[in-house]
Amino acid sequence: MSTATELTIRRPDDWHLHLRDGGMLKGVIGDASRHFARAIIMPNLVPPVVTTADAAAYRERIMAVLPKGDRFEPLMTLYLTEGTDPDDLEAGHASGLITAVKLYPAGATTNSHGGVRNFENAMPALERMAKIGLPLCVHGEVTTPEVDIFDREAVFIETVLDPLRARLPELKVTMEHVTTKDGIDYIKSSKANLAGSITTHHLIINRNAILVGGIRPHYYCLPVAKREVHRLALRAAATSGDARFFLGTDSAPHVDPLKECACGCAGIYTSINTMSCLAHVFEQENALDKLEAFTSLNGPAWYGLPVNDETITLRKRAEAVTYPEKIETEAGTVTVFDPMFPLHWQVV
């Protein structure tokens, strides 16, 4: 265990973030902009962000509610559909507005019903992305009903991702929110054009958190947390310093009534306490010296962006840091991720 009590790192970025829209956006944006300089913003709104014009309008709504004085850059994405216009995404990328395109297999997660079912229909867009160097961010799960939910990621790699990468080897792919040893091993075995984001909560919880002692909906997310062997593989990858792995929180707010019901939504809200949680994890792994790479260096290198000039300082306190159990938004109450252990690291 490290004995360090203060750590200064380049200001981090979040390479996978849900801000939602309307009253929810207004309520959660400050928790992201407080610590993160940039974030890749997920496009699965209702309706989804499918065109460059949609992305420009959404970016304007984000900037309109950004807390005064915060310096935060939303990196916009397009929601890939079978009808995505290659010329539109190329124009959006050339303008600097579009950082990546997001693949949701239809039905994989929240607001993904308009995602891709037939990959042949999406190939013109994917081929154009490969040509112009526009990254594809993938929600790496199959949704066929015969596949067990805990096997969705491994089956996706075998049946969808590997064939796609063989067909378009120049396509740059981010496996977002990797949750399995299978995913980690696949990324590590790749020679080029593949990286993975890892969430805060998947470094901390396994599937017992959802199911032991009663069903606990605020630990339910998609991809769902897996066995302990997979959590340990994620921790090893995140704390290794390997440039192919970086932070993407997948912080995903839902109001409590939509979590605490007979068919609850998937998503865990971590923006507010992610840096405290990560410092705890990296200290446990004797890897505080690798925290900056995971949160602040590897992601910009992968996406071809400069490292942030600003820094933040984390300090370890003797007494536990307190975070609210819930936050209030105009859309309703959102429960904050509870790591189930006291947090002592705090951004100062």
Which 3 state secondary structure label does DSSP give 196?
strand
> Quick one: tokens of 301?
């290198």
Q: Are 107 and 143 in contact (CB under 8 A)?
A: yes
CA 47 → CA 22, 81, 252, distances in Å?
Answer: 13, 12, 17
∠ CA 186-131-188, nearest 5°, is: 15
Catalytic, out of 21, 242, 250, 289:
250
Q: How far apart are CA 222 and CA 176, in angstroms?
A: 11
E-assigned strand segments in the chain: 6-10, 14-17, 38-41, 73-79, 98-103, 136-139, 173-176, 194-198, 245-247, 311-321, 326-329, 332-335, 343-347
Q: Is 14 a catalytic residue?
A: no
Q: How far apart are CA 32 and CA 46, in angstroms?
A: 21
Q: How far apart are CA 197 and CA 250, in angstroms?
A: 9
**Residue given tokens 């997948």 in the structure block:** 250
Q: Which residues are catalytic?
A: 250
